[in-house]
Amino acid sequence: MVITIPGKAQNPCKLRQFERIVGEKTMSNSNSNVERGGCRFGVKETGDGKPSIVMELYHQVPRLSRITLAFELLSGINLDHARDLVDKMNEHIIGVTVTAK
């Protein structure tokens, strides 16, 4: 699946931040396995034509390898508004952290 990211080109500084955390594994104080990966968001239309926001990982995070994470939006959100939301998310969110319970 190819997700297009609307709007401006990605900031090279932010891409370097992604590269630093991709594939990193650490142990927290509670001895839970923590996995981190760089991600970005895109807009995808659902089967009924409604926009949704989809998270795309730059590299595999083992615990997320078999799932697709998508966010449903309120019924009043149109495609342009969804793209604006995705632009803001991509400007401020640099990665995902997964912790086993």
pLDDT of 14 above 50: no
pLDDT tier at 33, thresholds 50, 70, 90? confident
Question: Cα angle at 77 between 47 and 92, to 5 degrees?
Answer: 105
This prediction has a pTM of 0.65
pLDDT of residue 21: 43
